[in-house]
Amino acid sequence: MKFRAFLVQIFYSFFGAGLAFASEAAGHGAAAHGEAAAHAEEGASMHLPNVINILYHYFPHQPVVEFLHEWENVFFALAVAAFLAWTFTLAARRASLVPSGLQNLYEMAAESLDNFVIGILGPRWRKFTPFVGSLFLYIFIMNFAGVVPFLKSPTSSFGITFPLGLSVFLYVQFTGIRELGFFKYLDHLAGEPRNAVGFILIPLMLFLHVVGEFVKPLSLSLRLFGNIWGEDVLIAVFVGMGSQMPLPIPIHFPFLFLALLTSFVQATVFCLLTTIYIALMLPHEHGEEGHEAVHSH
């Protein structure tokens, strides 16, 4: 019976997401696995199974499996980073004057991301394209990983999205200090006082600016986490509904296309806000194009 449950699980995974196998396992083998199996089933009830929690379900006491299960989100995040590094290496190694295949795909992505950045900041600041572009590709692939059989979206965990937001916060502050200079950076945080009223309001403006800077990475993290987590739960719910039918039907399949769109939109929103945060930190005299674009948004 366990083998039958495993075959049904693979059937659903083949269609793009996998079967939330907690209910199936509960009827055929949860008692035999005890507390460890119950813990695995509880986690699977909210998200679709992936290769790590499947291993943990059937081999709960293996040290390596326990380690992978504990660091599941980090493992998948590192796997996505390794995938991007590997494919970029392949594209660069086989580079030709007339691009094709993987090289053409990445060159199109790089050109689109460069146009995206200079459209907001202006041509002078295209040096920020590598940072913003890397963020976009990394977040998009992590988002999309949730609809690939036996994989998981690491961005459905706040433990992954918060470091992403924190990296943006640190990069923006570093950019402000580098481009403005330390004292002008402090002047920016103080609201750029130029008269008596401005100097009186320095404590208030400084407080508001500092709080605003710390809120930005938190809002980026929560927005990305909430949307991807909700998307994964929605698909898991429909997978569970399909598995309860007399003949299991992948009724969640149409939602996989919605997940693809959501993955792209959320990566775009994250990078759009990141670019705007950078624009707000740039010198006004050299960043007029960027500031005009920011205000137009």
Q: What is the pLDDT of residue 100?
A: 66
Q: Is the confidence at residue 5, as pLDDT, over 50?
A: no
Q: What is the pLDDT of residues 24-70, one digit of tens each?
A: 333 333 333 344 334 434 444 467 788 888 888 888 888 898 898 88
C-beta separation of 256 from 39 below 8 A: no
Q: Which of 137, 183, 171, 147 is nearest to 260 (CA)?
A: 147
How do the domains of the chain map onto residue ranges?
Answer: 1-70, 74-296
Q: What is the pLDDT of residues 192-203, one digit of tens each?
A: 778 888 788 888
> pLDDT-derived band of residue 119, with 50, 70 and 90 as boundaries?
very high
Give the rounded percent of residues in the chain with a pLDDT score beyond 90: 32
- Judged on CB neighbours under 10 Å (0-12, 13-18, 19+), 161 is buried
Q: What is the pLDDT of residues 252-261, one digit of tens each?
A: 777 788 888 8
Give the rounded percent of residues in the chain with a pLDDT score beyond 70: 76
Q: 125-134, 155-164, 203-212, 240-249: which has the minimum mean pLDDT?
A: 240-249
Distance of CA 74 to the CA centre of its chain: 12
C-beta separation of 146 from 259 below 8 A: yes
Q: Report, as an integer, the average pLDDT of 195-220.
A: 86
Mean model confidence pLDDT for the chain: 78
How many CA atoms, within 13 angstroms, populate the side-chain half-sphere of residue 156? 27
Q: Is the confidence at residue 127, as pLDDT, over 70?
A: yes
